[in-house]
Structure formats: C-alpha cells, structure tokens
Amino acid sequence: MHLIFVTGGVVSGLGKGISTSSIAKVLKMKGFSATVMKIDPYINFDAGTLRPSEHGEVWVTEDGGETDQDLGNYERFTDTTLGKKHNVTTGQVFSTVIERERKGEYLGKTVQPIPHITDEIKKRIIDVADSTKADFVLIEIGGVVGDYENILFLETARQMKLENIPVVFVHVAYLPFLEKLGEIKSKPVQHSTRELLSLGIQPDFIICRSAMPIDDVRKEKIGLFCNIAKQNIIDNPDIGNIYELPLFFEEQDFGNKILKKFNIDAKPSDDIEWKNFVNILNNVDKTIKIGIVGKYFDIGGYKLLDSYVSVIEAVRHACAENQVSPDIRWIDSKDFEKYPSRLDDLKQLDGIIIPGGFGGSGVEGKISAIQYARENNIPYLGLCYGMQLAVIEFARNVCKLENAHSTEILPDCKNPVVDILPWQKEIIAKQNYGATMRLGGQIVKIKPGTLAYATYNKGNVIERFRHRYEINPDYVNILEKYGLIFSGSTPDETIKQIAELPGHKFFIASQFHPEFTSRPLKPNPLFDGFVKACIDLVR
Ligand code: GLN
C-alpha cells in the first residue's frame, strides 16, 4: 500500500482534481496500478442531494453511487471504474460512528473525533487500498488547508504517516499573478504550507497552480520557506487542454520523483497513445458546432459549465476520435420560451444535445428545440431528460396527443407519456430523496437492425442511469405506430431505454447517461455516432 494525499492551498476550484487525476495517470503510464479517492468535508451523505449549479455535476458510479464530479475526472484519466466508496464524506463518517455508538459498540468509552472519527476515515481508505489492490491510492482531500471542515481528514493523513504506512503528501496551491506588479506572488503558498506544517504535515511536493510556470528564483524562495527541495516544486500553469497535464508533469519527471520518495526505482513512461490523443485535441482545424440546450448555465453573473462537465468531455473524446474539434454553444432553453424566433439560430448548428435535467424550468424551450432538430434534420442526441422530452415532443406533434407531458411536471396531465417508475411512487410519497433514484450501471438490450445497434455494434451494453421517471408503457404502442422506434430496453423489455427516429440524419435519445462511460481514446458509441453524423460521415 502506497498512499498519496493531495491537499489544496489558498483557493478552491484551482484544479486539484485534475492534478490528482494527472498524477494517477503518470503512475499508470509507468506501468503501475493507481486508484483515486475523494474525501469531501460536507455533511451530505453523497453528492446526489446537491444542486449542480452550486456544486457541479453529480457523477454516477457503476455501482450506483452519486458522487463528486472529481470521480469523473479520475475515471476518465485512469480509464478505471470506481465505486461509491471512492467518495467519502463527513456525513458518511459521522453517521457510521454515531450508529455504532447507539448500538453500544463503544460501551463505556468517550466517543471522540480523535481517535474514533479518524479511525473510521482510516478504515475507509484502507478498505479501498485492500479491495482494489492498487499499487498507489491517491486521496484528494476536499477544500483548502486552513478550513475548519477538513481538519479531521488532514489529521488522519498525518496519523497514517506516523503509523509507518508509506505516505507522500502533495500540496496543490495557487500563486496569484498581480498584473499591476507584473509578478507572481508566492506569499499565499508559503502561508498555506505553514498552516499544513502546523498540523504536523510536511508536504513532499508543492504543485504551483498559476497563470505561468514559476521561475527558479521563486522556486528557491518557496523551497526555503516551505522546507522543501527546489526540484520537488512542480509547475502547473494554465493550459488550454486538461489532458495535457500528465505530459507536462512527465516533462518535469514528476512520476520518478514520486517513486523516489517511496524508494521505488525510476521507470520510463509509455505515453505514446496519450500524446497522440492530446495532439489531435490541440491541432485539428476542422470544427463542428454543437449546441447544448440546458438550464443550469447561470449562477449570479457566471456561467457554470461544471454542471455538464461529463457531457463536454464525452463530446471532446468523440471529436478527437473523428479528428474534429468541438465548438460548443451554450443555449439557455428559457430563451426559446421568451423569444421563439431564436429557434432559427439552431439552423447554424451541426448538432444538438439536450442533457439530463429535473423539474419544469425551461422545459417548453427544450421541447421546441427538439421539434426544430427533428423537423430540420439536425443530428440530435438526448440524454435522460433529453429522451423523455423527445418522446413528449413526438407524442404532441406527431401522434397529436393533446397535452402530452411528464407527470414530473404536470402530475395530472391528460396524456402522461412519461410517468413515474412504479416503485418510485412510494419513495416520493415518503419524501425519501437521498440515493433513491434508479441508479448506476444497468443492462440495456439493443434491438438488431436499428441505428442504436449499428452504433453500438452489439446486443447488450451496460450504461449508467439516474432517473425516477420512464416512458409510460401504455403509450409505447401508439408512439411506435407513428414511427418512433424503441431500440433499447431493459432485458425483459418492460422499460424502454433508447428511442430513435428512422429517416433522420441521426436522432437518438437514451434514458441513461452515455457521458459517464466515455473515456479519452474510447468514446462512448452514441457520442461517436452523433459526432460522425454532425460531420456528415456516412456509416
Ligand atoms: N427528471 C427525469 C427523471 O427523474 C430525468 C432525470 C435526468 O435527466 N437525469 O426521470
């Protein structure tokens, strides 16, 4: 067991997850196995109950966990499948300890943050190390050093080193560039490292997140004040393409420097495939315009694209595969409700995606966009909500089913073509919302002779789900009669999971989220098929 703890300094949102993923990737390129965990300081049991516009996308693991979006980066960079236990939260740890206390398991003892909470955190880390048998376990600690909230996690890390487990600490800190002075300032990183030292943790490496690489003079200064050798200060400047970071780390021999800390001999890296992938992303000049029509784009004055990070990445993977580069346009569906004439702007797009979503806001705008894609032969990919709304659009405008809708939005609508999954009714009645959707990897049976079959080129696939509503089985016949094809279903064929339109350039919508199984060098077939249609490649 070799543990690498990654902490953050100065500000949050500085790309600690990408740094952690890139370290794991570097170790994998050297032939080691590496797995990654995220420890989040919030009390929520999991990320499923957090608002995407506040916290970013909810990542769904194959085993049905609703986790922090960083697990998506870990899976993408390392091409592994992680389980829900790779995301630990304060909520999980405390509830386990409190439950144990109530059962009398600590009878007679005073139950305390140290050692009872720290022991539970340790147990969870060791469990991941044991069950994955990975050569390296990277543990990213959420938040920033100096926060109250993550102090018990940092304390756990300190204790693990004390227990003679091979541990390396990597501190990722931000160095601001002050434009007026024309200078990068190292004081904040010094202070955040001092804070870490006061907790008994000496970082082995400092990763400098900044606008540009750090010069030698400053590295010496940081080294002196932070008690660290200059060569262990690693650059991580702003780069346009996140997938370049492992290569940038490798240029600094970061992988071998980590191995040396663990007393493991240096090893060469096999990075040819990854380099090729990065080259394509950086160098293709053919561009396709893809519109993503959604609603979680604004928070205050900012556009928050984190809510759709996996969709963006899946598009990039498929584009790299097809040697094009995506020009993604963010389209707020509410605009079409206010200004219907804006629908005509969709004409200039090569393809349209409607991603997952919940609730009524912006829904009519999304339905109009789907109608536009259907009627104007624009490639369309619907993801979860994007499938339900495509079926509603078809029911309303082709089958002429008046007021067709989803009971999620209109509980007593006349034609509920999308209705709650029967076993979800009780859950909603009890308002038992945490981790109760239909979640995780499920088998999708694909009908031979369909576009979905041609796209996947197999009859059974496993894709990840996160939903409470389904295509109402009572309406399947009439929808099929008017030409909609249900090309994917549960193995027993009771729940429809893919819908497609024959005679259209490419119109596929899935009840699952294909973005969760897309990887660099291994794009998800639905995204690949969609991108091929966008560039008019005939399959
Ligand atoms: N709101 C829909 C449902 O719960 C779709 C969910 C989604 O897009 N992830 O079924």
Q: Which CATH class name applies to 284-420+470-488+496-538?
A: alpha beta
pLDDT of residue 176: 92
Radius of gyration of the chain, Cα coordinates, nearest whole angstrom = 25
Q: Which ligand 1 atom sits closest to the C-alpha of 355?
A: 8
Q: Specify the 3-state DSSP secondary structure of 453.
A: helix
Per-residue pLDDT tens digits for 335-393 = 999 999 999 999 999 999 999 998 888 999 999 999 999 999 999 999 999 999 999 99
191 is catalytic: no
The alpha carbon of 243 and the centre of ligand 1 are apart by a number of angstroms equal to 30
The dihedrals phi and psi of 389, each to the nearest 5 degrees, come to -70, -30
CB atoms within 10 A of CB 161: 17
Q: Strands across the sheet with 469-471, in order?
A: 404-406, 415-420, 469-471
pLDDT of residue 297: 60
Per-residue pLDDT tens digits for 470-528 = 999 999 999 999 999 999 999 999 999 999 999 999 999 999 999 999 999 999 999 99
The alpha carbon of 95 and the centre of ligand 1 are apart by a number of angstroms equal to 28
pLDDT of residue 304: 59
Q: What is the mean pLDDT of each run of 10 residues along the chain (539 residues)?
A: 95 90 98 97 88 82 94 96 97 97 94 96 98 97 94 97 95 92 89 95 96 90 93 93 96 97 96 92 92 73 70 96 93 92 94 93 95 97 97 98 95 94 77 81 97 96 96 96 97 95 97 97 97 77
Distance of CA 118 to the CA centre of its chain: 28
Question: What tokens were used for 428?
Answer: 């909603």
pLDDT of residue 434: 76
Q: How far apart are CA 142 and CA 139, in angstroms?
A: 9
Ligand 1 pocket check: which of 307, 384, 513 to mutate, most ligand atoms within 8 Å of Cβ?
384
CB 298 within 8 A of CB 304: yes
Say which of 463, 470, 515, 534 is annotated catalytic: 515
For residue 466 and ligand 1, the question of a CB distance below 6 A is answered with: yes
Q: How far apart are CA 199 and CA 17, in angstroms?
A: 22
Number of helices and strands (H, E) in the chain?
19, 25
The letter for the amino acid at 503 is G
Domain edges within the chain = 2-276, 284-420+470-488+496-538
CB atoms within 10 A of CB 388: 28
The alpha carbon of 467 and the centre of ligand 1 are apart by a number of angstroms equal to 4
For residue 358 and ligand 1, the question of a CB distance below 6 A is answered with: yes
pLDDT of residue 55: 75
Q: What pTM, to 2 d.p., does this model score?
A: 0.93
For residue 356 and ligand 1, the question of a CB distance below 6 A is answered with: yes
220 is catalytic: no
Q: How far apart are CA 320 and CA 326, in angstroms?
A: 9
* Per-residue buried b or exposed e for 415-437, using 16+ beta carbons within 10 Å of the residue's own CB: bbbbbbeeebeebeeeeeeeebb
Q: Hey, what's the torsion of the CAs at 122, 128, 131, 134, to 10 degrees?
A: -110
171 is catalytic: no
Burial class (CB in 10 A: 0-12, 13-18, 19+), 53: middle
Residue written as token pair 């202070």: 191
For residue 427 and ligand 1, the question of a CB distance below 6 A is answered with: no
Q: Which CATH class name applies to 2-276?
A: alpha beta
The alpha carbon of 514 and the centre of ligand 1 are apart by a number of angstroms equal to 14
pLDDT of residue 539: 35
pLDDT of residue 399: 97
Burial class (CB in 10 A: 0-12, 13-18, 19+), 356: buried
Q: Do domains 2-276 and 284-420+470-488+496-538 have the same CATH topology?
A: yes
pLDDT of residue 366: 96
Q: Hey, what's the torsion of the CAs at 106, 109, 111, 112, to 10 degrees?
A: -140
CB 6 within 8 A of CB 172: yes
For residue 467 and ligand 1, the question of a CB distance below 6 A is answered with: yes
For residue 385 and ligand 1, the question of a CB distance below 6 A is answered with: yes
Q: How many residues does the chain have?
A: 539
For residue 355 and ligand 1, the question of a CB distance below 6 A is answered with: no
**Can the peptide bond before residue 422 be classed as cis, meaning omega within 30 degrees of 0?**
no
Per-residue pLDDT tens digits for 430-458 = 777 777 788 999 999 999 999 999 999 99
Cα–Cα nearest to 311, from 142, 489, 12, 59: 59
